Amino acid sequence: MNIVFKCLKTPVKKYVYDRNTNVVVTVSDVDYDELIDVEEGRLKPEESKAVKKLQDHGLLLENRVVEIAHPDTQYAEHHIENRLSQLILQVTQQCNLRCEYCVYSGGYTNRHHANRIMTVELAKKGIDYFIAHSFESNNLYLSFYGGEPLLQFELIKEVVKYINSIVEGKKVYFSMTTNATLLKGKIADYLVENDFDITISLDGSQEEHDKNRKFINGQGSFTTIMKNIKDLRERYPKYVKERIKFNTVISPKVNMACVKEFFDTDEVMSDTRILFNTVSENNSLTDIEFEDNVYIVRKYEYIKLLLMMIGKINEKYVSKLVLRSKDNIDLLIKSLSKHKEISAIMHHNGPCIAGARRLFINVDGDFYPCEKVSECKGDVCIGNIENGINIEKVKNLINIGNLTKDECLVCWNLFNCSMCAADCEVDGNLDANHKVQHCKKVKTAGLLAILEICALEEFGYALKEEKN
């Protein structure tokens, strides 16, 4: 008998996660011990009374998954032809900063700073392709990316003017990721007037930010950025609150406690939205190791978030760096409460339809699924401006489970795995060994997430009912 499940326990209760139905149930101490023996191969499932007991309730049945294949594969071509929803234009590979951890810094195998820009003609061709393949999309999203996109502000204005002149009956939403060193004066006014959603890269206090994010001459960029943010906030307070968010990247150099204190206490940062990430390890030329303070501070703040969720402390005592994690916890709780039976043909949830959800066009006119993958002509390059999107390459990226199909067939975390092509590629090509290594991290994170949910519910946490 082939059954797939995972045993887990808190100090209070014992549980088993059933992959077939994506649910977690409480079990007795005796049944838990027996299920551990089954899980570790010391006892056959058909000889276990605990297994039989759960099977009588529709759990721990024979594994239904017989093939690893993405269910959207058959719809990929239709989505590519009709449902493109977000276009990301790399308007330049130039940048006025030289951030030490940047993927263009020379510390990675896949990208480097270059004095290359996107032409107006190429940008308009990209827009034309986007519009021609988004017939069924109700809203259109256009993002500008770099390098530093505001170095090509005149190009951005041309593109915005062009897309607004040819789109009819649909709303176009604009966004940008910027280092904010040029976010001032007429540039800032233009972005506000055109309702841009802006993500600003800011890594904490001046001391922490300037350790990595420097101008080409070596000077720190913090003072320039903060002056621009203060001026923008004074002139457009509502806009800053509603349309600007900050992305802070934690690198091995920074002091995590100082970063947290800055975002929690700085007056300019009040009422702002913070995205928190660690520096990318994919395709790095060196091993990236963090100081203990990063893990200690992050874990301490996360524990406070959990305490807030069970009503033990007030939200004001929880750092903004971790507040967003509550949404992820709630999403997993919703998923585990649906009792959704797994399909015979199944794939883990990470991959989107490459190009349809996001289409990234670089300065050369090459197509990629998003800005997170390598800009290398390999598996992750899904086409170009002249030939369009290669459907077969899209289907290949959707079905990255084929890299590890034997492991996926019996993986307990298949339902909740979020791995995509960006987690599996090395220098632009999909790599099975790299995926296997990443699998270990994903399964560990998945187990911890379910344990946290069990503990939260033991302390009485429950999702609030959504209002209609």
pLDDT, averaged per 10 consecutive residues of the chain (468 residues), comes to 95 97 97 98 97 96 95 95 97 92 67 83 98 96 96 98 96 97 98 98 94 94 97 96 93 86 91 83 69 82 96 94 92 90 91 93 96 89 97 96 95 94 91 92 94 96 70
Give dist(CA 181, CA 204) in Å, integer: 15
Q: Are 123 and 89 within 8 A, CB to CB? A: yes
H helix or E strand, kind and range, residue 27: strand 23-27
Backbone angles phi, psi at 168, to 5 degrees: -130, 135
One-letter amino acid for residue 435 of the chain: K
Give dist(CA 208, CA 262) in Å, integer: 10
138 HSE (CA, 13 A, CB side): 0
Give dist(CA 172, CA 142) in Å, integer: 7
Give dist(CA 368, CA 428) in Å, integer: 10
Give dist(CA 93, CA 381) in Å, integer: 17
Q: Are 148 and 97 within 8 A, CB to CB? A: yes
Q: Please report the pLDDT score of residue 427 as a whole number.
A: 87
Q: Are 305 and 323 within 8 A, CB to CB? A: yes
Give dist(CA 208, CA 254) in Å, integer: 5
Alpha helices, H only, 342-425: 391-398, 405-409
Q: What is the pTM of this model?
A: 0.92
User: How big is the CA angle at 75 (ends 70 and 79), to the nearest 5 degrees?
Assistant: 120
Q: Are 35 and 44 within 8 A, CB to CB? A: no
Q: Please report the pLDDT score of residue 468 as a whole number.
A: 45
Residues facing residue 383 across a β-bridge: 367, 389
Alpha helices, H only, 211-324: 222-235, 237-243, 256-265, 292-309, 320-323
Q: Are 410 and 350 within 8 A, CB to CB? A: no
Which pair of structure tokens corresponds to residue 362? 């670089």
